Amino acid sequence: MKKLIKALFATTLFTAIPFTATKAQAMSVSPQNWWVGMQNEALQVMLHEPNIAKQQWQLIPYNGVKLISISKTDNPNYAFLNLKITPQAKPGDLVFTSPTGERFEYPLHTRSSNSAKRKGFNSQDTLYLINPDRFVNGDSSNDTAAGMLEAADPKSKGGRHGGDLQGVINALPYLNDLGVTQLWLTPALENNMPSYSYHGYAITDFYNIDPRMGSNELYQELSNKAQQQGIGLVMDFVLNHFGSEHVWMNDKPTSDWINFNGEFANGKHATSHARQTIQDPHASQFDKRQFSDGWFVETMPDLNQRQPLLATYLIQNTIWWIEYANLSGIRVDTYSYSDKAFLANWTKAIMSEYPAFNIVGEEWTTNPAIASYWQAGKNNSDGYTSSLPSVMDFSLQEALIQALNEDESWNTGWVKVYQSLANDFLYPNPNNLLVFADNHDMSRVYTELKQNLNKTKMAMTMLLTTRGIAQMYYGTEVLLDNTGSNDHGDIRIDFPGGFAGQTVNAFTGKGLTNAQRDMHQTLRTLLNFRKQSPALGYGKLTHFSPHQGIYSYARIADEQIVLVFLNKNKQAKNWSLEYMQEVLKLHTTATNLFTKQQINLTDAITLAPMSATVLVIE
C-alpha cells in the first residue's frame, strides 16, 4: 500500500468460540482452530475475556497434544496457551477446563492433501490485481451490513461501492478466458472503520472477512472455484499496522503491543518513510526507529513485531489463512516497515512450512540495491538473511513509463529499461521478481502514457514477455483511465459491467470502444500464450542495447524461442536480424504471435510504427 494514505476506521474481537457449557458469555479464541500434521509442532492460542488470566486452564488428556505452559501478560484480559501438537495427534476437539467450571473445545482439523507441498505462483503466472470493492457487486444485499460503521456510498470516490467476493466468483469465467492464472485481491478482511474503509488496509479483525465482502466461507469458496478454473488465490497481508478501531487499541494484549506506546502524538510518531535507513551503514538508531516504528497515519497504529507474543500471532495468522483458504501465495503490504528481525523469522516460518510456496514483498523503491536486500539468497554486507522469495520491481515499472514517454537519446528512452534490467546482477533470483506497469496505489498505465493505445500495448507486451512474474491491474485490458485526477478513488475506478446502471460492460463487450476492444484482444492473446509458453515461463532473457528507437530481446528455452521488438518510431522499420544470430541458433522462420504470419528471419523484417512485434520460434 502506498506510503501516503488517507485517514480511516473500527473493531471486532477475534473469532468468538462459544462455550460448550456453563457460561453464556463468549470468549474470543485465536486462531479459531488448527491442523494436525504441521511441521512446526508448537501452537499458541490467544484467549481474550475480562480477567481471563485468573483462570488455570487444563487440557483434558488428548493423545499427541500437550499443554506446555500458559503465558500471561501485564493485561489480565489475555492468556496464551502454549501447546505441542506431535505427529501422533489425530483430528478432533481438544477440551480445556478450569477449576471454576469454564470449558471450551478447540478443533483440530485434517490438512488438505499435499498442503505442505503446495506450489506457489511463479514466473509462468500472471497475477490479476483486484480492488474487490470496485470490481463486481455480486451481492447487493451486503452493501451495507449491520454492525459496520460505514454504509455503502457508491457516489463517493472514497466510499464503499459494493463490490464483493461473490462478484469475483461471478467473474471467474471471464478471467479464465482472459488468461489470468492468479488473483491478488487487496485485503478483504474486516475494516470496520468510520470512513474510507473500502481499500482493506486498516484491519480490525485478522481472522474474519469483512461482512460487506462476504464471509470466510465465501472466501474459501472463491479459492475453490478459482482453482477449478486453473486460477490460484494470492492473499494480501498487512504485518506492519492495523486499524485504529481494533479492540487492541482499547485493550492491548501487552503494554508494548503497539509502537510508540500506542500514541501517534499529533504526527510526532509518524513514519519517516526513510527506507534506506535499514541498509545505511551510517544511519542513526533514531532514524531507524522513526522509519520502522513510526505510524502511517493516526488511524493506522504501528505494530511492534519485536513483541514475541505478537510475532507468533502474526505468523500463525498467516499459516491459518494459507491452510483455511488453500492459498497459492502471499503479497505483503509495506514489507520493509516491519521489524526486520521479525520479517526474517516470519518468512522462514512460512517457507519452512511450505517450501514451494511464494511470497512477494512490497518494497516501494526504484533502487534495486535496496529492494534486492530483502530477497532470499542475498549475501548482505550486514549479515542479514531473508527467506522472502520475491519483491516487487518498482525500478522496472518507473523505467518503462519513462522510456515510453521520453524521446530517444543516449541516456533517455529505451535505455532506461535496458539499464534497469542490467541491474539484475544485484538480485539472487531476478526471475522471481514481480513486474508490473501500475497498481492500486499509482496512476494507471494508460493514464501515465497519456492515453496512447500503442504505447500502452507496448508497455504491457514488454511486461508479459520479459523475465519475472507478471502482474496486471484490473481493467487494464479495457484501458481504465484516471486522467485528470490522482485521487485513489479515481485510480480504483469501478470495473465496467460490474455494477448496476453502467452503460459499458467489459464482460460482454457492450459499449466498448474500438481501442478498448483492441487492447482486450491484445492482452487476451498475450496472456493465453504466456500460460503455455516455456520461453516466457522460464526461458533465459537475452536483450540487446536499444538502437534507433527499437528495444529487442529474446526469451530462450530448449523447446521455444520468443523474439520481441518494441518500436517507438512513428514510421515502419525494415529491421535486419543479423545482430541476433547468437539467439536465433540457425533458425530461419518464426510465427508472428498476433497476425499468425510466417516470417522469414533471413530477410529484414518489417516492424510497424509504434508497435510491439512478438515472433515465436518452435
Is 408 known to be catalytic? no
Q: What is the pLDDT of residues 205-256, one digit of tens each?
A: 999 999 999 999 999 999 999 999 999 999 999 999 999 999 999 999 999 9
Arithmetic mean of pLDDT, 59-63? 98
pTM: 0.95
Contact 214, 142 (CB under 8 A): yes
Identify whether 11 is part of a domain.
no
Separation CA 302–CA 239 (nearest Å): 9
Is 487 known to be catalytic? no
Separation CA 290–CA 306 (nearest Å): 15
Identify whether 10 is part of a domain.
no
Identify whether 2 is part of a domain.
no
Q: Are residues 520 and 581 in the same domain?
A: no
Q: 518498482: which residue's cell?
A: 394
CATH value at residue 299:
3.20.20.80
Identify whether 398 is part of a domain.
yes
Q: What is the pLDDT of residues 464-483, one digit of tens each?
A: 999 999 999 999 999 999 99
Confidence of residue 353 (pLDDT cuts 50, 70, 90): very high
Q: Are residues 66 and 184 in the same domain?
A: no
Q: Are residues 508 and 419 in the same domain?
A: yes
Of 492, 510, 532, the residue at which a domain comes to its end is 532
- Candidate list 143, 362, 424, 448, residue with the active-site label: 362
Of 112, 146, 178, the residue at which a domain comes to its end is 112
Separation CA 23–CA 25 (nearest Å): 6
Confidence of residue 263 (pLDDT cuts 50, 70, 90): very high
Contact 445, 413 (CB under 8 A): no
Percent of the chain with pLDDT over 70: 96
Q: What is the pLDDT of residues 366-400, one digit of tens each?
A: 999 999 999 999 999 999 999 999 999 999 999 99
Arithmetic mean of pLDDT, 142-159? 98
**E strands of 210-262, at which residues?**
232-238
Total structural domains within the chain: 3
Residue ranges of the alpha helices (H) in 135-230? 165-170, 172-178, 216-228
Neighbouring C-beta atoms of residue 583, cutoff 10 Å: 20
Residue 222 CB partners (closer than 8 Å, separation 6+): 165, 168, 169, 233
Residue from 603, 613, 602 nearest 567 by CA: 613
Contact 94, 106 (CB under 8 A): yes
DSSP 296-340: SSTTSPBB-TTSHHHHHHHHHHHHHHHHHHT-SEEEEETGGGS-H
Arithmetic mean of pLDDT, 276-295? 96
- Candidate list 333, 363, 424, 438, residue with the active-site label: 333
Q: Are residues 309 and 340 in the same domain?
A: yes
- Residue 139: domain span: 117-532
CATH value at residue 572:
2.60.40.1180
Task: Label each residue of 408-457 as H, E or C.
Answer: CCCCCCCHHHHHHHHHHHHCCCHHHCEEECCCCCCCCHHHHCCCCHHHHH
Q: Are residues 283 and 172 in the same domain?
A: yes
